[in-house]
Amino acid sequence: MLMAVLSSALSACTTVPGGSPGTSTQATERAKLRLALAAGYFEQAQYAVALDEVKLALQSDPASVDALNLQGLALMRLDQTQAATQSFEQALRFKPSDPDTLHNLAWLRCQQGQYAQADRTFEQALAQPSYLRAAKSWTSRGLCQILAGQHAAALQSLWRAEALAPGQALVNYNLGWILWRQGDFSRAQSYTRALNNSPQANAESLWLGMRVERALGNPHTVAQLADQLRKRYPMSRELQAYERGSFDE
């Protein structure tokens, strides 16, 4: 599911800029400056340049957990998974049980298909007291559980995410998708309608809404959603699937 893949952007956790205890004020300030530049390049998808700036930040502050996290995230984007793992593990040596680092390592393990390890690492992150990004980790954990085929567990994780941060498009979509797959069409409808009535609706959510409404015997609503899909996404795969009548594929 494309909506699940979107979580790779959602899942990155880091705080930029930052410094580490024990470094001189001047060295810390240099590291902060380099790290801020690195974060800017990262946001622009210039990952190789971001890595160069991170390396300079780490020269000034080798124990910067923020720099090591950003380095790991950039390496993930460049498909250098072994090096990314090493960056996150090094960050944990400096700051054991840091929930942001654990989150990033968990998502990396999920991307590598190491689902059991990923789930345990998400659990470690979520066990940390006063973790401010718990909704993000519950969401990513749920998405990883979907990839692992653990739909019942994913429902529980996504419901936890919803309770902490209601109205997330990614959460609504995947809750609707799982419930549709399980045949719980009425509950699925509550999520798909909420999403499709919001500015965050897209081709995937409209198509899922059509499948849910069809299962509930609402042809008029299916036609309305199909009209939106045709007008807004005329070249989409979802519209092609609708025109083929492939509601159950």
pLDDT in tens, 146-173: 999 999 999 999 999 999 999 999 999 9
What pLDDT score does 28 carry? 80
pLDDT score for 24: 62
Q: Per CATH, is 11-133 categorized as 3.40.50.800?
A: no
Cα–Cα distance between 74 and 205 in angstroms, integer?
30
Q: What is the pLDDT of residue 237?
A: 96
Q: What is the 3-state secondary structure (H, E, C) of the chain?
A: CHHHHCHHHHCCCCCCCCCCCCCCHHHHHHHHHHHHHHHHHHHCCCHHHHHHHHHHHHHHCCCCHHHHHHHHHHHHHCCCHHHHHHHHHHHHHHCCCCHHHHHHHHHHHHHCCCHHHHHHHHHHHHCCCCCCCHHHHHHHHHHHHHHCCCHHHHHHHHHHHHHHCCCCHHHHHHHHHHHHHCCCHHHHHHHHHHHHCCCCCCHHHHHHHHHHHHHCCCHHHHHHHHHHHHHHCCCCHHHHHHHHCCCCC
pLDDT given at position 4: 39
Question: What integer pLDDT is reported at residue 248 of this predicted model?
Answer: 87
- What are the boundaries of each domain within the chain? 11-133
**Is the pTM value of this prediction over 0.85?**
yes
Check if the beta carbon of residue 16 is closer than 8 Å to that of residue 66: yes
- Residues in the chain with pLDDT < 50? 1-10, 16-19, 21-22
pLDDT of residue 8: 43
